[in-house]
């Protein structure tokens, strides 16, 4: 708009034009860095990781980290994706509309001043050239960034997929195949190698397929399709449906009357190194568009500079007594302020949609693909937030294998629902979810898995961790501490003088011990830990304890037992014959639970009510995408309480005060993409977990 920003636009356009010209003969990013110009923002992604000219771009390195735990199954490319095309159209219209305001300072100078009788060239040509030139620079800077980011991302994705395919089939990697070099160059050389013919004609055809490491015609046919252009692709794979333990495929040897002939031939005719042959360099689709955009950008730079200089000549030509110069400077200053205010607002609705989406493929036992439930979008800055670093420990116990404890129903089912949500909706890798059900959830195993969180290399700094408990719980009357009951608590032999409640508590897991372990995990790895306990705490301070001997002073979870009646045909209001009776229920939160800890945030429920209501309300709240992108833990608790609120339910969900304003799972939901969102990315990567 304002002439005061024209030189800044010209400088930015010059830097982008120089940096986009990146080849072996003219390494633009390296030369630009050596000249003291460092691109900022998205332009920084298109600079090299190291000081070398052939090293990978920062964009490639970031994408490699995102995909390091994924096995690419297929890639879909749509360069005319609706979201991208629509955003670019709006960009062009908004740029042309706002830049037209740049003509306002010249209305008084050219119409009301004595210079109004001058020809059009002297009045409006230079302002129009400056505005249109700046428009071209602004628009094609964005288009160049888009093309180069998409090209670098696609090249790295294709490189990773091709690399996995060659390794799965036991093929020898070419000498130029280096993951620490630029992917586009490696793919270009691979394309030339796949197109060559006749290089192995001196070896009988019978023996060309005997060496499994040679790139045979079938392998070349699989990998060369679409090389040199951004197209959709998929590779046949030998890996199992879960993406684990790939088995190299050996080609089927041709029949021979004497097997010894084949062995002798491999010695007499060793597979030669395939020579490189000259071929016509294929111009990729993005390269054609990139060259066109560079030409328009250069044209816009020239127009901007000529128009900028010419605008001052118009102002200087106005008579001194016409006040044209004063009006011009005031209008330009006003436009500069208005431009700054527009930048400062930065509304979210004008942000571009995700150009890349990661879609996890799930299969049934029969091998059929399951319809996707969600995926994650990768923004133009390639700063994707995915669940690859999330870990979870899920514990649900129905069967306690103890004559002193009433078995429950629904705990394991709820725990499986939580685990299924993490796998299918949040797309947490399967090997990062530890689920312990019934006999697996012993005291020793639970403690060992909690302690292992501080030792796992896959637990990154600030990575989210979820720990979920669904089991019996109670509050010991002596020390007022909360205990969680594991499967088959090992209670030592007691004498008549022993305190049975103390022995039983020692066989369980105290909340204090869990806090100590999580505090260690926070010190070693991350304090982004959410501890969810769908457990009613029972106080033993009231009279009329359980009727079962040895533990008459320990209350177990009455609400869970009531839920167990639902699964055995017993009505909610009817007590099972073997269930102990309770005369009261503590509704006060124990101090150790209410106190916040710097190691984790606790989501818990208090009060009476049906067992499992917290879990169901939690999952229902997490499946409503309306406000999850910016939701905090406190907001989640408020949503849970809203769903638990009913005349029949007296339970209340609470969370500790520390970290309650932290965004859920590092803002993971802000990058989640579902079918209902209507997002149409340019590149869709379908993958399996490694």
3 state SS for 183-228: HHHHHHHHHHHHHCCCCCCCCCHHHHCCCCCCCCHHHHHHHHCCCC
Average pLDDT, the chain: 76
Question: How many angstroms separate the Cα of 559 from the Cα of each of 142, 587, 595?
Answer: 59, 13, 24
* Rounded Cα distance, 661 and 71, in Å: 35
Q: What value does the mean pLDDT take over residues 266-279?
A: 39
Going by pLDDT thresholds of 50, 70 and 90, the confidence category of residue 315 is confident
Q: For residue 357, is pLDDT > 50?
A: yes
Q: What pLDDT does residue 145 have?
A: 93
* Rounded Cα distance, 265 and 260, in Å: 9
Q: What pLDDT does residue 277 have?
A: 34
* Rounded Cα distance, 340 and 344, in Å: 6
453-460 long-range contacts, CB within 8 A, separation 24+ = 453/391, 453/393, 453/521, 453/525, 454/517, 454/520, 454/521, 454/523, 454/524, 454/525, 455/524, 456/391, 456/525, 458/389, 458/391, 458/432, 459/389, 459/391, 459/521, 459/525, 459/526, 460/389, 460/525, 460/526
Q: What value does the mean pLDDT take over residues 51-62?
A: 83
User: Last residue of a domain, which of 329, 350, 371?
Assistant: 350
User: Last residue of a domain, which of 300, 327, 350?
Assistant: 350
- Asked if residue 632 and residue 576 are part of one domain, the reply reads yes
Lowest mean pLDDT among 237-246, 284-293, 465-474, 582-591: 582-591
Question: How many angstroms separate the Cα of 366 from the Cα of each of 241, 362, 370, 686?
Answer: 10, 11, 11, 19
Strands 473-475 and 465-470, sheet pairing: unpaired
- Please report which residue ranges of 21-125 form alpha helices under DSSP H: 28-34, 58-66, 82-99, 105-107, 120
Q: For residue 288, is pLDDT > 90?
A: no
Q: What pLDDT does residue 152 have?
A: 92
Between the ranges 36-45, 54-63, 316-325, where is the mean pLDDT highest?
54-63
Other Cβ atoms within 10 Å of 451 Cβ, number: 12
pTM of the model: 0.77
Q: What pLDDT does residue 252 have?
A: 40
- Asked if residue 518 and residue 482 are part of one domain, the reply reads yes
Q: Model confidence over 521-580: pLDDT tens digits?
A: 999 998 889 999 887 555 443 333 333 443 433 444 333 443 444 443 334 344 433 333
Domain tally, the chain: 3
- Asked if residue 132 and residue 262 are part of one domain, the reply reads no
- Asked if residue 593 and residue 494 are part of one domain, the reply reads yes
Determine, yes or no, domain membership for 201. yes
Q: What value does the mean pLDDT take over residues 167-192?
A: 87
Decide: 21 and 28 in contact? Cβ < 8 Å: yes
Lowest mean pLDDT among 126-135, 437-446, 614-623, 657-666: 657-666
- Asked if residue 263 and residue 300 are part of one domain, the reply reads no
Q: What pLDDT does residue 678 have?
A: 67
Q: For residue 450, is pLDDT > 90?
A: yes
79 Cβ contact list (under 8 Å, min separation 6): 150, 230, 285, 682
Decide: 76 and 232 in contact? Cβ < 8 Å: yes
**More confident of the two residues 422 and 571:** 422
Closest listed residue to residue 472, CA positions, set 517, 526, 536, 521: 536
Q: For residue 340, is pLDDT > 70?
A: yes
Q: What value does the mean pLDDT take over residues 441-463?
A: 91
By the 10 Å C-beta count (0-12 exposed, 13-18 middle, 19+ buried), 162 is classed as buried
- Please report which residue ranges of 399-474 form alpha helices under DSSP H: 411-424, 443-452
Determine, yes or no, domain membership for 279. no
**More confident of the two residues 310 and 265:** 310
596 Cβ contact list (under 8 Å, min separation 6): 602, 656, 657, 658, 659
- Asked if residue 232 and residue 201 are part of one domain, the reply reads yes
How many CA atoms within 13 Å lie on the side-chain side of 51? Answer: 1
Q: How far is CA 671 from the centre of its chain?
A: 6
- Asked if residue 162 and residue 123 are part of one domain, the reply reads no
Q: What pLDDT does residue 262 have?
A: 42
- Asked if residue 135 and residue 172 are part of one domain, the reply reads no
Question: How many angstroms separate the Cα of 80 from the Cα of each of 42, 154, 305, 649, 673?
Answer: 21, 15, 33, 52, 19
Other Cβ atoms within 10 Å of 445 Cβ, number: 16
**More confident of the two residues 594 and 682:** 682
Q: What is the domain range of residue 224? A: 155-268
Closest listed residue to residue 386, CA positions, set 397, 376, 401: 376
Q: What pLDDT does residue 15 have?
A: 92
Angle at 599 between CA 630 and CA 429, to 5 degrees: 60
* Rounded Cα distance, 79 and 302, in Å: 30
Determine, yes or no, domain membership for 492. yes
Question: How many angstroms separate the Cα of 210 from the Cα of each of 207, 268, 553?
Answer: 5, 13, 76
Going by pLDDT thresholds of 50, 70 and 90, the confidence category of residue 155 is very high
Q: What pLDDT does residue 559 have?
A: 36
Q: What value does the mean pLDDT take over residues 140-144?
A: 94
Q: What value does the mean pLDDT take over residues 69-77?
A: 89
Q: Assign 49 to helix, strand or coil.
A: coil
Structure token digits, residue 539 = 């106080």
Structure token digits, residue 470 = 């669904």
Q: Model confidence over 604-660: pLDDT tens digits?
A: 776 555 667 889 889 988 887 666 778 888 888 888 888 876 655 556 777 776 788
In the chain, the percentage of residues whose pLDDT exceeds 70 is: 71
Q: What pLDDT does residue 356 have?
A: 92
* Rounded Cα distance, 651 and 606, in Å: 5
Q: Model confidence over 201-242: pLDDT tens digits?
A: 444 544 444 455 667 777 777 787 777 788 898 876 555 444
Q: What value does the mean pLDDT take over residues 158-170?
A: 89
- Asked if residue 229 and residue 374 are part of one domain, the reply reads no
289 Cβ contact list (under 8 Å, min separation 6): 143, 147
Determine, yes or no, domain membership for 280. no
Supply the Cα-derived Rg of the chain in whole angstroms.
34
User: Last residue of a domain, which of 350, 373, 397?
Assistant: 350
Torsion of the alpha carbons at 372, 373, 374 and 375, rounded to the nearest 10 = -20
- Asked if residue 53 and residue 194 are part of one domain, the reply reads no
Lowest mean pLDDT among 169-173, 424-428, 430-434: 169-173
- At what angle are helices 285-317 and 6-20 packed, to 10 degrees? 160
**What is the total residue count of the chain?**
690
Q: What pLDDT does residue 133 have?
A: 95
Structure token digits, residue 310 = 């010419």
Strands 369-370 and 362-363, sheet pairing: antiparallel
Lowest mean pLDDT among 250-259, 379-388, 424-433: 250-259
Q: What pLDDT does residue 366 have?
A: 59
Determine, yes or no, domain membership for 115. yes
Determine, yes or no, domain membership for 277. no
* Rounded Cα distance, 164 and 447, in Å: 37
Q: What pLDDT does residue 265 have?
A: 41
Q: What is the largest CA-CA distance in the chain?
A: 116
- CATH number (domain holding residue 410): 3.40.50.1460
- Asked if residue 547 and residue 444 are part of one domain, the reply reads yes
* Rounded Cα distance, 10 and 351, in Å: 24
Decide: 397 and 438 in contact? Cβ < 8 Å: yes
Between the ranges 102-116, 285-299, 426-440, where is the mean pLDDT highest?
426-440
**More confident of the two residues 300 and 564:** 300
* Rounded Cα distance, 565 and 567, in Å: 5
Q: Model confidence over 474-495: pLDDT tens digits?
A: 888 777 788 899 988 877 665 4
Question: How many angstroms separate the Cα of 450 from the Cα of each of 428, 483, 487, 497?
Answer: 18, 16, 16, 34
- Asked if residue 381 and residue 300 are part of one domain, the reply reads no
Determine, yes or no, domain membership for 82. yes
């Amino acid at each position: 708009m304002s002439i005061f920003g024209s030189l800044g636009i010209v400088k930015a356009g010059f830097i982008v034009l120089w940096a986009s010209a990146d080849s072996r003969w003219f390494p633009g990013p390296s030369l630009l860095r050596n000249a003291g110009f460092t691109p900022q923002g998205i332009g920084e992604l298109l600079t090299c990781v190291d000081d070398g000219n052939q090293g990978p771009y920062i964009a490639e390195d970031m994408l490699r980290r995102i995909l390091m735990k994924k096995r690419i199954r297929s890639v879909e490319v749509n360069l005319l994706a609706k979201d991208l095309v629509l955003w670019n159209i709006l960009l062009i219209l908004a740029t042309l509309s706002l830049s037209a305001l740049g003509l306002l300072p010249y209305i008084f100078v050219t119409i009301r001043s004595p210079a109004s009788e001058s020809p059009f060239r002297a009045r409006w040509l230079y302002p129009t050239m400056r505005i249109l030139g700046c428009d071209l620079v602004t628009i094609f800077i964005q288009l160049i960034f888009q093309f180069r980011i998409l090209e670098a991302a696609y090249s790295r994705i294709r490189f990773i997929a091709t690399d996995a395919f060659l390794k799965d089939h036991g093929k020898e990697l070419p000498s130029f195949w280096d993951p620490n070099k630029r992917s586009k160059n490696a793919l270009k050389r691979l394309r030339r190698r796949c197109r060559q013919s006749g290089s192995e004609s001196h070896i009988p055809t019978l023996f060309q397929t005997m060496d499994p490491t040679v790139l045979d015609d079938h392998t070349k046919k699989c990998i060369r399709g679409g090389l040199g252009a951004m197209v959709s692709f998929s590779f046949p794979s030998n890996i199992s449906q879960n993406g684990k333990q790939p088995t190299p495929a050996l080609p089927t040897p041709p029949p021979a009357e004497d097997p010894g002939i084949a062995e002798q031939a491999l010695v007499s005719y060793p597979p030669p190194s395939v020579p490189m042959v000259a071929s016509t360099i294929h111009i990729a689709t993005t390269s054609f568009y990139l060259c066109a955009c560079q030409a328009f950008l250069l044209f816009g730079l020239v127009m901007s500079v000529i128009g900028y200089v010419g605008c001052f000549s118009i102002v200087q030509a106005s008579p001194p007594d016409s006040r044209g110069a004063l009006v011009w400077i005031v209008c330009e200053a006003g436009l500069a302020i208005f431009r700054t205010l527009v930048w400062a607002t930065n509304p979210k609705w004008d942000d571009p949609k995700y150009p890349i989406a990661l879609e996890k493929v799930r299969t049934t036992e029969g091998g059929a693909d399951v319809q996707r439930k969600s995926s994650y979008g990768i923004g133009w800055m390639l700063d994707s937030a995915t669940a690859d670093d999330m870990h979870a420990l899920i514990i649900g116990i129905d069967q306690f294998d103890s004559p002193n404890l009433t078995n429950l129903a629904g705990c394991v089912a709820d725990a499986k629902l939580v685990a299924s949500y993490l796998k299918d909706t949040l797309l947490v890798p399967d090997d990062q979810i530890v689920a312990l059900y019934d006999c697996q959830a012993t005291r020793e195993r639970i403690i060992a898995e909690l302690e292992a969180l501080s030792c796992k290399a896959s637990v990154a700094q600030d990575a989210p961790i979820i720990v979920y408990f669904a089991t019996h719980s109670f509050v010991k009357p002596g020390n007022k501490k909360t205990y969680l009951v594991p499967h088959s608590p090992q209670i030592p032999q007691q004498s008549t003088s022993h305190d049975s409640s103390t022995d039983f508590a020692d066989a369980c897991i105290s909340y204090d011990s869990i806090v100590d372990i999580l505090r260690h995990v926070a010190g070693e790895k991350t304090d982004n830990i959410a501890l969810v306990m769908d457990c009613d705490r029972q106080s033993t301070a009231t009279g009329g304890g359980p009727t079962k001997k040895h533990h008459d002073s320990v209350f177990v979870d009455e609400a869970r037992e009531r839920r167990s009646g639902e699964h055995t045909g017993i009505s909610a209001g009817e007590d099972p014959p073997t269930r102990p009776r309770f005369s009261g229920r503590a509704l006060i939160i124990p101090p150790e639970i209410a106190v916040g800890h710097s190691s984790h945030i606790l989501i818990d429920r208090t009060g009476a009510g049906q067992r499992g209501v917290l879990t169901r309300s939690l999952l229902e709240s997490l499946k409503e995408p309306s406000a999850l992108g910016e939701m905090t833990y406190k907001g989640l608790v408020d949503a849970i309480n809203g769903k638990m609120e009913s005349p029949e339910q007296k339970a209340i969900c609470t969370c500790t005060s520390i970290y309650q304003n932290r965004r859920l799972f590092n803002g993971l939901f802000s990058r989640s993409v579902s079918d209902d969102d209507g997002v149409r990315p340019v590149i869709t990567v379908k993958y399996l977990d490694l």
